[in-house]
């Protein structure tokens, strides 16, 4: 377990919580007053929190499965990336994929954040790449489904 420092930017902000002992993602809560998102629209949902993510980790903001599957609400960018040097507010760009307006209430769980290690890369220009059996086969090239 690692420690992530959290700064409340608003006294009403709620700290992230884990639903169970073995949950990978910690729930993020809406600080916003009731907010209705029209079908096909995206709204910025404030959490009122800023994080100090340890160097070598990244915060990945994912959809909450129930919110996405039952109400069609998920992060607009699919997975939000919070770098360890970012100190601004965590804001969830929530998109309504459903055909109905959806209302987010203050204190509602709107997304989850997972902390993961990452490996920075050094890019090296090359005229050739090692050959593989797959080669340049892209979208759908490994099977019929």
Q: Please determine, for residue 143, whether its predicted confidence score (pLDDT) is greater than 70.
A: no
pLDDT averaged over every residue in the chain: 95
- Tell me the CATH class for 21-117: mainly beta
Write the CB contacts of 124 (distance below 8 Å, at least 6 apart in sequence). none
Nearest to 67 by CA among 14, 111, 19, 114: 111
How many residues are listed for the chain in this entry? 145
Q: Please determine, for residue 145, whether its predicted confidence score (pLDDT) is greater than 60.
A: no
User: pTM for this one?
Assistant: 0.89
10-22 pLDDT, tens digit per residue, is 999 999 999 999 9
Nearest to 111 by CA among 53, 57, 47, 51: 47
Q: Are 89 and 15 in contact (CB under 8 A)?
A: no
Confidence of residue 137 (pLDDT cuts 50, 70, 90): confident
Q: Are 67 and 25 in contact (CB under 8 A)?
A: no
Domain residue extents for the chain: 21-117
Percent of the chain with pLDDT over 70: 96
């Amino acid at each position: 377990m690692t420690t992530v420092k959290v700064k409340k930017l608003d006294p009403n902000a709620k700290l992230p919580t884990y639903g169970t002992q073995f949950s990978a993602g910690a729930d993020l809560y809406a600080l916003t007053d009731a907010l209705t998102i029209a079908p096909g629209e995206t709204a910025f949902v404030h959490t009122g929190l800023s994080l100090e993510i340890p160097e070598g980790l990244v915060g990945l903001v994912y959809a909450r499965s129930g919110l996405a599957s039952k109400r069609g609400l998920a992060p607009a960018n699919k997975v939000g990336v919070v770098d360890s040097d970012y100190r601004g507010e965590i804001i969830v760009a929530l998109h309504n994929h459903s055909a109905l307006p959806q209302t987010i209430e203050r204190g509602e769980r709107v997304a989850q954040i997972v902390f993961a290690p990452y490996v920075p890369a050094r890019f090296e220009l090359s005229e050739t790449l090692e050959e593989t059996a797959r080669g340049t086969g892209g979208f759908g090239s490994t099977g019929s489904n």
